[in-house]
Amino acid sequence: MPPNEAIIEQAIAQLNRQLIPKYAEVAKEFGINRVTLMRRFKGQQVSRTEATSIYCQNLTNTEEQRLLFHINQLSDRGFPVTPQILRNFVFEITKMQLQEKIKQYNILPQNTYNFDEKAFFLASFVPSSESFL
């Protein structure tokens, strides 16, 4: 935990002990931004590490648990867990996510486009009269 995080946690603990939170006083006492303290206290803002963990996570906790279950099953049966096997498990899980989103937003097949590497490679060599920056 970064040093600033520890200070913010102490300030939030002090605010929790107050009947009416006095953000300006506590922020000044701990030397932190009043708005940051208020947002963190109200749960409107999280720490940088927590935000990175939330928004950069590829699998949900349930999906991670499911992946661990499959890994443990393979290990219990004596099969080595190779990177290719892990890749296949994750691919199946994320493929299900995509199918759920397609159903959720009623995306029709004609509204999807498969942009593969070859099409991009060929398109990059087609001469164009306009150049885009």
Q: Is the pLDDT of residue 74 over 70?
A: yes
Question: What pLDDT score was predicted for residue 98?
Answer: 77
User: How far is the CA of 100 from the CAs of 55, 58, 62, in angstroms?
Assistant: 19, 15, 15
Question: What pLDDT score was predicted for residue 128?
Answer: 56
Mean pLDDT calculated for residue range 53-60: 74
> What is the rounded distance in angstroms from the CA atom of residue 12 to the CA atom of residue 17?
9
Mean pLDDT calculated for residue range 20-37: 93
Which of 18-27, 65-74, 121-130 shows the lowest per-residue confidence on average (mean pLDDT)? 121-130
Q: Is the pLDDT of residue 86 over 60?
A: yes
DSSP 8-64: HHHHHHHHHHSSS--HHHHHHHHT--HHHHHHHHHTS---HHHHHHHHT-SS-HHHH
* 8 Å CB contact between 41 and 22: no
> pTM, whole model, 2 decimals?
0.45
Cα 7 from chain centroid? 25
